[in-house]
Amino acid sequence: MPTLNVAQIEQTLDVTCDTVIRNEQYFSDLDGLAGDGDFGTSLATGFKVIKAELPGMDKSAVGAMLLKLSMLCSKHVGGSSGPIWGTGFMKAAFVSKGLEEVTYDQLTQMVGAAVEGIMARGGAVRGDKTLLDALIPIHEKMQEMDGSDLGAVLAAVTAEADKAIDETRTLVAHRGRASQVGARSANTPDPGIVGVATILYDWCKHYGVDYKPQAAELAR
Amino acid sequence: MKKLVNDPANFVPEFMAGVIAANSDLLEAIPEFQLIKRKNVDASKVAIVQGSGSGHEPAHVMAVGPGMLTAACQGPVFAAPPVDACYETIKSVATDAGVLVLVNNYQGDRMAWDMACEMAEAEGIRLKQFIINDDVAVQDSLYTVGRRGVAGNFFVMKACGALAETGASLDEVYAVAERVNANVRTMGLALTSCIPPAKGTPIFDIGDDEMEVGVGIHGEPGRERTKIKPADEITEILYKAVQSDLPFSSGDRVAMMVNGLGGTPPAELYVIYNKAAKLAAETGLTIARNYVGEYCTAIEMAGCSLTMLKLDSQLEELLAAPAQTACRIF
């Protein structure tokens, strides 16, 4: 069975930084439709710091690297996204504490712990039109699969995030700044969900995994 | 803006360095995390930590010292400290007896400390977290769900700090925090706004003839904006809000604090205290201890807050116990 080591996860994180930085304006524009328009900038500000500090981070274990990432996220990503994303990385770090490489089952547990942590931190549940509407089905899909083909897993979880964009489009947001505009948030995509989907789709491209995006926000 | 600053970006580190320079016998700093801690932490005693935005001095870093906090970290002016600073603050003084983390109820502070506590617990550090919310002015505010933590924080720090010095357990110190917070109430009032150094302009507009009743310590709105009134009438507004909330009733022994918000001279605070003490006597309260001065400020905001704490014999003893912090006026 394939495993992922610290260097492989570092590379994936570096690709993630590039995605977030490249989409700063686009994510902020999406957020401006119903939120306060700062999502892209908040995220990109933090991930620029993460990209710069990634090479010098403690690489003794997956958990050590992710814990540092969590602190940087909480410190440099603005607004509520900082503690939300920071909590996700922190919970994943606890599961991978002291591990130089993680198995597929451990990776699935890391995602599950991140989902639980984010729910506890922000008080959101499935259907509130937050990034959890992408992360929860991703975790479920990972539990269903056996992980013998990581490329197939990546394509499958990208499809879940992609689907979540359109499935939640008509919903009214219940959490975050978008919840304060009520019905105005309906018929706009959630920038957090689009963010997760865009990151995964970029991973597909980076690792040569074939994936055909469905939602307009991915196929642009 | 006229302020005694160099580069506004260095304002917080420079004032903290000054606190250390003036108290090098008692305190040391870890500048990277904007944290100040006591020298010679006793591992057999519960450590007490706090950390919040700057601009409220002498809260919170200037409250570090024997009999008060063990360590504290500062965020930028009016902004929560980052998670890594909170985590390092806990770690820097983690004792065998455990750490009590005192957090004032603001969303930014709570999220940062929640994460820091979870990280510290994952490292095997024994801790408990307690949320302070003594402000009666509003139920929810700009930065809170629920009541804000304001000047009543002083009494929580003082009582917990004194009890920890006796070698009490983490559960016992936590129980005292609960008891103080359950019995302390505060209401504030602003005559002017304040100017965060990095911003350079007032954070809200208020007319020369207006006051903000129930203001928060970051200038966030309170109950109402009204025409300014004579000091005695202002005192009545503050006293009634505080007294009726607990409520404090005849026969109670209390500690009373008239706290300056940074831009009000001591003499004016005594004008307020004079009336507040009379009102307390009318209610039948005995003021066992009084505190008139600056304990929790909002930079140079003119105004004050009134705090009352209902005492029992243990709390009275803990408030009377010696403490030594950076604000030495003797």
> Which residues share a beta bridge with B28?
B37
Confidence of residue A180 (pLDDT cuts 50, 70, 90): low
Predicted confidence at residue B328, as pLDDT, reads 76
Q: Is A92 on the interface with B (CB under 8 A)?
A: no
Give the rounded percent of residues in chain B with a pLDDT score beyond 70.
100
* B146 close to B104: Cβ distance less than 8 angstroms: no
* B contact test, residue of A42, A58, A72, A74 with most B CBs within 10 A: A74
Q: How many CA atoms lie within 13 A of B90 on its CB side?
A: 30
Residue B107: its pLDDT value, please? 84
Structure confidence at residue B264 (pLDDT): 98
Please say if the pLDDT value at position A181 is more than 70.
Answer: no
CB B11 within 8 A of CB B55: no
Please, are residues A209 and A155 in contact by the beta-carbon 8 Å criterion? yes
Q: Reply yes or no on whether the pLDDT at A177 is more than 70.
A: no
Statement: residue B171 has pLDDT above 80: yes
Cβ separation A83–B111 shorter than 8 A: yes
Averaged pLDDT for residues A132-147: 98
Q: What is the mean pLDDT of residues B205-211?
A: 95
Residue B140 pLDDT? 81
CA distance A59 to A10: 9
Digit-coded pLDDT (tens) for B241-250: 999 999 999 9
The percent of residues in chain A predicted with pLDDT above 90, rounded, is 79
Specify whether the CB–CB gap between B191 and B181 falls below 8 A: no
What's the N-to-C CA distance of chain B in angstroms? 32
Residues of B within 8 A of A90 (CB-CB) are: 115, 118-119
> Are the CB atoms for B239 and B279 separated by under 8 Å?
yes
Residue of A90, A175, A177 to mutate, testing the B interface (most B Cβ within 10 Å of its Cβ): A90
Phi/psi of residue A167, each to 5°? -65, -30
> How large is the average pLDDT for residues A47-72?
97
Q: With b meaning 16 or more CB within 10 Å and e meaning fewer, what string describes A4-32?
A: bebeebbeebebbbebbbebbebbbebbe
| Cα angle: B185, vertex B187, B192; to 5 degrees | 155
Pick the catalytic residue from B218, B235, B242, B276: B218
Q: Which residue in A74, A94, A97 is closest to B83 by CB distance?
A: A74
pLDDT at A79: 77
Cα gap B113→A68, rounded to integer Å: 16
Stretch A85-108: mean pLDDT, rounded?
97
φ/ψ (deg, to 5) at B25: -75, -30
Of B82, B84, B115, the CB nearest to A87: B115
Res B145: pLDDT = 80
Per-residue confidence at A81, pLDDT binned at 50, 70, 90?
confident
What is the rounded average pLDDT for all residues in chain B?
Answer: 95
Q: Is residue A105 very low, low, confident or very high in pLDDT (cuts 50, 70, 90)?
A: very high
pLDDT at A123: 85
Q: How many CB atoms lie within 10 A of CB A178?
A: 24
Average pLDDT of chain A? 93
pLDDT given for residue A190 in this prediction: 93
pLDDT digits (tens, 9 = 90+) for B248-285: 999 999 999 999 999 999 999 999 999 999 999 999 99
- ipTM of the shown complex: 0.82
Range in A165-174, B174-183, B300-309 the model is least confident about:
A165-174
Q: What's the gap in Å between the CA of A97 and the closest CA on chain B?
A: 10
> Are A34 and A189 within 8 A, CB to CB?
no
pLDDT over threshold 90, residue B144: no
Of A39, A45, A83, give the one whose Cα is nearest residue A177: A39
Q: Is B60 one of the catalytic residues?
A: no
Q: Phi-psi region for residue A2, left (φ > 0), alpha (ψ -120 to 50) or beta?
A: beta
Of A121-135, B84-98, B134-148, the range with the highest mean pLDDT is: B84-98
| pLDDT above 90: residue B167 | yes
pLDDT grade, residue A99 (50/70/90)?
Answer: very high
Mean of pLDDT values over B34-62: 95
Structure confidence at residue B323 (pLDDT): 95
A121 and B114: CB-CB below 8 Å? yes
Specify the pLDDT at position A176.
64
- What pLDDT score does B203 carry? 87
CB B145 within 8 A of CB B53: no
| CATH placement of domain A4-219 | 1.25.40.340
The DSSP string of B10-45 is: GHHHHHHHHHHHHTTTTEEEEGGGTEEEESS--TTS
Consecutive H or E run containing A90 = helix A81-95
Chain B residues lying within 8 Å of A83, measured CB to CB: 83, 111-112, 115
CB distance B157 to B64 below 8 Å:
no
| Percentage above 90 pLDDT, chain B | 89
Q: Please report the beta strands in B78-200, taking only residues with DSSP state E, as ranges in sequence order.
A: 99-104, 127-132, 184-190
pLDDT band of A178, cuts 50, 70, 90: low
Return all residues near A124 (Cβ < 8 A) that are at least 6 apart: A118, A130, A132, A174, A175
Residue A179 has a pLDDT of 66
Residues A56-65, mean pLDDT to the nearest whole number: 97
Assign A60 a pLDDT band (cuts: 50, 70, 90). very high
Give the bridge partners for B255, in sequence order: B289, B309
Contact of A203 with A153, CB cutoff 8 Å: no
